Amino acid sequence: MCRHLAYLGPPRSVAEVLTDGPHSLVRQSWAPADMRGGGVVNADGYGVAWWPGNGADAVGHRNPAPIWTDPAVLGVLTQVSSTGVVGAVRSATEGMPITAEACAPFTHGPWAFSHNGRIDGWPDSVAALAEWLPAVELLRMPALTDSALLWTLVHRRLAASSPGDALREVVASVLDAAPLSRLNLLLSDGAGIWATAVDHALSVRVDDRHAIVTSEPVDDRGGWVEVPDMHSVEAWPGHLQITEIPGARPGEDGT
């Protein structure tokens, strides 16, 4: 069900963010601790996005092969430094394409987006949500996957909503249509991190210089906060807010 991580803080090489810690994102690709909903490894590709600085848009690298097989991780990416990084390793839902275009993070302008989980009943369950989008946006989806549709829905809402509200609105809409979905969404613009925890693991650590939001803690140092289910996160160095996502998951009352 994938793993992801977002980092904000002093400049670090992109490779260091992916590989640092005894339970780094690279290690999580082949030895995840909490793969809810099936899956053993995250070997169906990976992606990483970063911000070059001076207000530049997000740029990235994606590969449909397992992260541990890509020489760029310990090669080119050791030479790239940034104050913001988003990385993701993928375990593809059965029947979905295994291509570079299907690997998160998806980027557009300053934004980088990732999704851990799945939309239950895809694609029929969310056909009505897709109909809400202009046809041109559907045609521009980076891949025919549930994660790419979630990114398209989020990006559409960012024009009118704050990042946190955009994620919560999409979560509410998808859960209304597909209540058993797993929706850990992760969004960053290189200055802030916004995320949701919906039926999937998520942890965060923030101090005055750093903010890390990740599917699983990358090390055993203190300060990690486990995000409760049905909560959203807003984080950057020196700031952490965890907020309950309004409304119960449909069917929680047994109906």
Residues annotated as catalytic (active site), given as ranges: 2
Report the SS3 class of residue 171.
helix
Q: How many CA atoms lie within 13 A of 254 on its CB side?
A: 0
Q: What are phi and psi of 103, to 5 degrees?
A: -90, 130
Contact predicate 3/116, CB 8 Å = yes
Of 97, 224, 227, 238, the residue nearest 167 (C-alpha): 227
Report the SS3 class of residue 192.
coil
Query: Which two three-digit tokens encode residue 62?
Result: 């994606």
Query: Which two three-digit tokens encode residue 204?
Result: 């965060």
Query: Which two three-digit tokens encode residue 211?
Result: 């903010």
- H, E, C per residue of 229-255: CCEEEEEECCEEEEEECCCCCCCCCCC
Q: Phi-psi bin for 70: left (phi > 0), alpha (psi -120 to 50), beta?
A: beta
Of 132, 196, 133, the residue nearest 164 (C-alpha): 196
As beta bridge partners, residue 62 has 47
Q: Any idea what DSSP says for residue 127?
A: H
